Structure 1
Amino acid sequence: MSEEYKGMAIGVFELESECACFVALDAAAKAADVKIQGVERNRLSAGACVKMRGTVSDVNAAMEAALRTAEPLSKIVSHTIIAAPSEEAETAIRMTINK
């Protein structure tokens, strides 16, 4: 696990529009103390996935702000929060970011 994110919750949301992802991640970053870990473009569409890290309460607040901002701009494909990612999840997350 990257020591930078050790013990942090992770929030992930995916939208059909990459542009809307940047607007939503900006809202998330302004709403709470989260670090944007990565933005990954969808391979088969124009959308993207955003990964953010922070305390559970900060990630919850940031996710709410991101989804509220994204809703009128783009279809929300999926979203989730993992409060305490396992080592295996951390490895998988790191692999998708370092492609």
Structure 2
Amino acid sequence: MAGQYEGMAIGVFELDSECACFVALDAAAKAADVKIQAVERNRLGAGACVKLRGNVSNVKAAMEAALRVAEPISKIVSHTVIAAPLAEAEPAITMTINK
């Protein structure tokens, strides 16, 4: 699985509502050419973390759209864009934790 995202930037955002994550990831996917890598429930219970992959400009555009849509309906717990993830970090990034 890690190989399919090699060389791609990653955008990650975490919201306190899993439902809001789906609304935000829909906006992100419509705003830019990105792949939704994963949606993972977080330890807080109701929230989730979304991982988006693509080139840097598309990931940034997708993240902006996602956060803009999420802000009025959910608390944004955290967000970041990593332009060039280290190859050695990919196994941890691509690991999906199911609860």
Is TM-score (shorter-chain normalized) higher than 0.5?
A: yes
Aligned residue type for 1:61: A
Matched residue count? 98
Q: Distance in 1 between matches of 2:44 and 2:64?
A: 26
Aligned residue type for 1:4: Q
Cα-to-partner distance string for 1:16-64 (whole Å, 9 max, x where unaligned): 0000000000000000000000000012320000001000000000000
Q: What does residue 21 of structure 1 align with? A: 21
Q: What does residue 77 of structure 2 align with? A: 77
Aligned residue type for 2:18: E
Shift of 1:8: 0.3
Task: Work out whether 1:60 is the aligned partner of 2:51.
Answer: no
Shift of 1:98: 5.9
Q: Distance in 1 between matches of 2:46 and 2:25?
A: 16
What percentage of aligned pairs have identical amino acids? 79
Q: What does residue 10 of structure 1 align with? A: 10
Secondary structure in structure 1 of the residue aligned to 2:45: coil
Secondary structure in structure 1 of the residue aligned to 2:84: coil
Runs of 4+ aligned residues of structure 1 deviating over 2 Å after TM superposition are none
What RMSD in Å do the two structures reach over aligned CA positions?
A: 1.3
Native 8 Å contact 2:39 2:50 kept in 1:
yes
